[in-house]
A and B are shown apart, each in its own frame.
Chain A
Amino acid sequence: MPAYTAPLRDMRFVLYELHKGDAVAALPGFEEMTRDLVEPVLEEAAKLASEVLQPLNASGDLEGCHFENGVVRTPKGFKEAYETFKEGGWTGIACDPAYGGQGLPTSVNMLVEEMMSSANLSFGMYPGLTHGAYKAIHAHGTEELKAIYLPKMVDGTWGGTMNLTEPHCGTDLGLMRTKAVPQEDGSYKITGTKIFISSGEHDLTENIIHLVLAKIPDGPKGIKGISLFVVPKFLVKEDGSLGARNGAACGAIEHKMGIKASSTCVMNFDEAKGWLIGEEHKGMRAMFTMMNAARQGVAVQGLGVAEAAYQGAVAYAKERLQGRSLSGAKYPDKPADPLIVHPDIRRMLLTMRANIEGARALGAWVSQALDFQTNSPDAQARQDAEDLVAILTPVLKAHFTDIGFETANLGVQIFGGHGYIRDHGMEQLVRDARITQIYEGANGIQALDLVGRKMPAHAGRLLRQFFHPVSEFIAAHQNDEQLGPFVQNLAKSFGRLQQATLHIARVGMGKPDEAGAASYDYLKLFGLVATAFMWARMVQVALPLAGTAEDHDGFYKAKIGTARFFFDRMLPESGARLSAILAGGKSMMEFEDSAF
């Protein structure tokens, strides 16, 4: 198993040097979240990740979860690790202090989540799902429901889940069958089967609070008739203690490609008692309010796995002696040169690195926007932040999880045959990363969301929060002596993105299939250009410092070097993406169904 050391140096860089970490601490509600408080949190998280969680990653994968008589047992060591996690207060770091949380900004929490994802993606699922359920109840539940459930979810005594998918409906939730029949006492009886429910049943917490989407009979058809309910595994008595078992049970667990230590359950609800969250039939709207944060969470999972793969690959490339450099031996005293001398190995490593650091910077920009969206006192600033989050969330979710999978894959490649066997843990990363491209809205759906909903919304207003800063940055710096060449490269790719955007907006209006055909290439183009913007800005920060006394560890110099690789070798993909978009969807849409 590759060792994992949290990239704290880079995290500090994006949080405080590149973005406005100090400005986040100036927002009402985050007054205490100054750098000197955040710093130890990150360090403790780093320790937890490498010392507690990472050591369980391979064993958890090998052992998997056990299902017997409706009970799920997590792999060896998970329960103890969860206790440590819980005792350390990690379940509530980003929760409302009113319910016992520590109120950490999302931008900081995302970095913690990255570390958890690098160390042990499966483990992270349990508290991750609890946090999702916590958010839904916190945002839409009544005061009564909040008082019953939130404190114990925050302190980790109870877990949580999100129940959306059914056997016949995943992406298209309008087909949902689970029903919720109103009862005289104001509660509902929930009946139906949900599948793919992460953390649906396990042995880590005393109770599990299921959030279930269901239809109230005679409501509107389709997606507009879905309501959200809270359904506890054990009913909670008035004094807060646990009462009778509710009619919610795990029927089976799935045997999966990856994240094997995370229990993925078939949940059977048989007249289970539930309580409405939010308004009747407005369940999807309630879900939407959390979707951006949840999707960014998955994006960060992709980033986390990528980081783990990169660290493993770098270590191996430096150690493993194999062949000689094409330009003559670089380490003549050794029997062979290490892998790292080879151009193609360097190509792979720099691709991994440039993607990871670019994504970390981009992710931090958007997660800080989430903090402004929730806590800024200025209505316009909140709206602007919300717009930026809305437009970039699908890009982050799909692009980062693609990066996660591709980086894990490159990691295996660098290891060669040793990557393909289990011993080094590199193949597990590929398998674990794969799910992030699928759940929380498959990446193709993200592309449709970007092109079909976000792009045309409000005559393109959401786009403004990305396009205007980039345009202004280019105008301001394209002629800078040192930064200029980077910015000119950015400008070229930005022009391609503008051209593609206008093209899709025009063509897609009358021909939705054309917009759909262009959507994935467009999302990737967007991801590339957004990353390029981050890279240009990182260069802007690094240039004055590179090679100075401040740069004793060579961090800034490496930044500029990585940026150079990104602009020279990776950004040109923007041209190919534009060409594909402009070529249109005819070649795929006119292909006869029967010819497939």
Chain B
Amino acid sequence: MAEIQKVAVIGESNIKRVAVIGSGVMGAGIAAHVANAGIPVVLLDIVPEGAANRNVIAEGAVAKLLKADPAAFMSKKAAKLVTTGNTEDNLDLLADCDWIVEAVIERLDIKQALYKKIDANRKKGSAVSSNTSTIPLAKLVEGQSDDFAKDFCITHFFNPPRYMRLLELVAGDKSRKDMLADLTRFCDYKLGKSVVPCKDRPGFIANRLGTLWIKAAVVEAFEQGVGVEEADAVMGKSFGFPKTGVFGLMDLVGLDLMPHVEASMVSLLPKADLYHSIAKDTPLLRKMIEDGYTGRKGKGGFYRLNREGGGKVKETISLKTGAYRPQVKADLEILKETKGDLKALLSSQDLAGRYAWKVMSRTLIYAATLAGEVSDDIASIDEAMRLGYAWTFGPFELIDKIGAAWFAEQAAKDGLEVPKFLKDTGDKTFYRIENGKREYLGLDQKYHTLARPEGVVMLADIKLTSQPLLKNGSAAVWDIGDGVACFEFTSKMNALDPDILGLIGKAVGLVAKQFKALVIYNEGSNFSAGANLGLAAFAANIAQWDLLEQMVSGGQDAYRALKYAPFPVVSAPSGLALGGGCEILLHSDAVQAHAESYIGLVECGVGLVPGWGGCKEMLNRWSTLGRLPKGPMPAVGKAFEIISTATVAKSAAEAKEYLFLRPTDGVTMNRYRLLADAKAKALELAQNYTPPEPPEYVLPGPSGTAGLEIVVDSFHRRGLATKHDVVVSGALARVLTGGEKADPTKKLSETDVLALERKEFMQLLKNPSTLARIETVLETGKPLRN
């Protein structure tokens, strides 16, 4: 199957219209995500008996999608691309579709019958795929036409389809290579998925291993008498698993899902499979499901919020008694002691260590048996677990951390059958870096280059083979080829600090001399959540006002240097781009944003106003691009509304609605392709580049300030704005309206507005209520409404 990847996947896909049949959680989510890509999509479901509205199920699904949290649609516009219908009256709509996704109930007879209908209505050569997670492809195509089998494959999405980046692709013997390539192209570029080819085996890759991991974690917790919180603490951050742990994860996905998955695994897997020896019955689980404790969607799960008597008590179920008791934070010394040393943790003889060993030994041994079984390359297995189960490290990466030889030896001692592949690996590692190239260990025990999909440029790869052009403790500048330099944040959480600002200044000088363009980009999970608030709060607490003032003006200077540099600057965010992170985007010539970018000026939330040019840029954008009524006030009002409420756009598409992004800014669906797209954009702009002219501002002055204050006061009176909100909004209003001396007949310069930002920012930073907000955010991650 690996050859799918070798098929050229670069370029436009032929898929221009899609149909999804089955509007359950997965089908509807897939349809929404196709719409997110700007592709029209038909969503069909059955007609319920006696229904007046024959489309009621599909329509209801779209209504639900619009309310989903996290949102399924990236913008309201996307929702308009979904056409709903039913499978009795609207199969004719399939004739226009290039790809038909089946996501109906997991029953072979129903699916097979549906395929006949699809085959009769679809256009010739269109791709058909199933989102099944339990039924083998070979069974699905039984009795179908030869053409159907050629055009058919399995595309297994993960829930929720918008956010989970894994797509498992299973091809049948007859599946057309060009169809697979085109589908891969579409899912990669348009849907932003990492397409991992799998063999036609039960559970494919991620669920096959993930299910065993969950089952082992649950069963061993019962057997060894480990509490739910402790089990989740062990199966959490230490191994790079999501912090929910296994029990928390089950609460999230629903406990009732498990018996279905288990039953299908048990029925499909060969007798000798390790799964059978792990999958012991857990009566408490059965009882919980029967009693409606199915997790967060039900009355609660392993954890619940007990609201009896009007209170809110966090409780946890006791695995021993089945009764709920108050939740206790697991405080396991061993996790602190071993601190990421997995070998030490797994060797520890205390309860947590023994539990960790029992679960992880089985999980990782199983992973090793799956090499060759579900996929021929371990890199695919690791990728599937990273993207499908949100593991930070795939199973083979974990074994590398533990040491393959030691692990195999211990597993054998524990009576586990060590698969040949692992035995043969011996002292070797599964991954290595050789001559600046990443390599993985093949089933042949030889190392092979770990190739990225075509056209993908990753900074991580560039860093393996080169030295930074500039570097300090918080940032680095890299040569990414073709005359383009890349500015990377490297500080903790990519927080912006004086070091970063300093390096921006240096980078501008360097790029001006030696490069055509600059891309601001990094491969952290967030572009930047803003300035280093801890540093700012600390400096404020020790009254280091000069230093803080320097930080504010230093940021303004650095960002203006980017804006007016003699070369184009393209920022490429993914994840959070907040506060100072957002202001960088606002000062860039263009932005190439990952679709999953969450952009906003959130300073007011922590009791501040944007101080690095965010106010002036938003004013300028809304007055030039805003399509607003004439006069100085509408743009001021719009910027005020967006900034004072600390609005964060929940996608790149939404960011355009707020003008955090310009209509001309680019959006990349696939995270892996972001840098390549940004670089291309930068090179395009570099032809005949001239820096922008500084804007001039016509601002309303005190009358405008008063107008905004009236609005805020009424919010305050209605309890919608707190006491300190009024103070902060007042400061913001003074900045956006040009301050006391502004008057609509006089033009203000950019530096005038920047001076106002600085003044109000510094004033607020001295306010104890602002410092209390910052402290609360730093310590709890939650806003303080004071």
Contacts and interface: CB of A to CB of B under 8 A. Distances in A.
A471 B539 contact: no
Contact of B537 (A460, A470, A471): A460
Interface in B384-433: none
Interface residues on A, range: 10 to 19
Contact of B541 (A220, A222, A460): A460
Contact of A498 (B534, B542, B778): B542
A501 B542 contact: yes
Contacts of A181: none
Interface stretch (A74-82, A145-153, A202-210, A461-469): A461-469
Contact of B542 (A220, A221, A502): A502
B545 A464 contact: no
Interface in A477-536: 498, 501-502, 505
Most buried by B among A222, A224, A459: A459
Main secondary structure of the interface of A (DSSP, over half): helix
A277 to B, nearest CB: 23
B544 interface: yes
Interface in B313-333: 331, 333
A459 B331 CA distance: 24
A459 B542 contact: no
Main secondary structure of the interface of B (DSSP, over half): helix
Interface residues of B, number: 20
Given A221-B333, A502-B538, A459 B778 contact: yes
B538 A470 contact: no
B543 A459 contact: no
Interface in B747-786: 768, 771, 774-775, 778-779
A458 interface: yes
A224 to B, nearest CB: 8
A221 B336 CA distance: 14
Contact of B779 (A458, A470, A501): A458
B542 A467 contact: yes
B253 interface: no
Interface string A215-247: 000001110100000000000000000000000
B547 interface: yes
B544 A498 contact: yes
A463 B541 contact: yes
A502 B544 contact: yes
Contacts of A463: 541-542
A121 B28 CA distance: 80
Contacts of A470: 543
A497 to B, nearest CB: 8
A467 B548 CA distance: 15
A463 B539 CA distance: 10
B544 A461 contact: no
Contacts of A502: 538-539, 542, 544, 547
Contacts of B771: 461, 464
Given A459-B534, A459-B537, A502-B538, A467 B778 contact: no
Contacts of B779: 458-459
B534 A467 contact: no
A498 B543 contact: yes
Contacts of B333: 221-222
A470 B545 CA distance: 13
B397 to A, nearest CB: 26
Contacts of B539: 502
Interface in B514-547: 533-534, 537-545, 547
Most buried by B among A458, A463, A471: A458
Given A221-B333, A464-B771, A459 B541 contact: yes
Most buried by B among A460, A501, A502: A460
Contacts of A220: 331
A442 B605 CA distance: 43
B547 A461 contact: no
Contact of A467 (B537, B541, B775): B541
A287 B573 CA distance: 50
Contacts of B540: 464
B164 to A, nearest CB: 35
Contacts of A222: 333
A461 B774 CA distance: 10
Nearest to A470: B543
A224 B774 CA distance: 30
Contacts of A498: 542-544
A470 B542 CA distance: 10
A470 B774 CA distance: 22
A505 B537 CA distance: 12
A382 B541 CA distance: 18
Contacts of B538: 459-460, 502, 505
Nearest to B772: A461
A144 B331 CA distance: 33
A379 to B, nearest CB: 12
A347 B547 CA distance: 38
Interface string A100-119: 00000000000000000000
Interface in B164-206: none
20 contacts: A220-B331, A221-B333, A224-B331, A458-B775, A458-B779, A459-B534, A459-B538, A459-B774, A460-B542, A464-B540, A464-B541, A464-B542, A464-B768, A467-B541, A467-B543, A471-B543, A471-B545, A498-B544, A502-B539, A505-B538
Given A459-B533, A459-B775, 15 more contacts: A221-B333, A224-B331, A459-B538, A459-B779, A460-B537, A460-B541, A460-B542, A461-B537, A461-B541, A461-B775, A463-B542, A464-B540, A467-B541, A468-B543, A502-B538
Interface of B: 331, 333, 533-534, 537-545, 547, 768, 771, 774-775, 778-779
The 6 closest A-B pairs by CB, nearest first: A471-B543, A460-B541, A460-B538, A459-B537, A464-B541, A467-B543
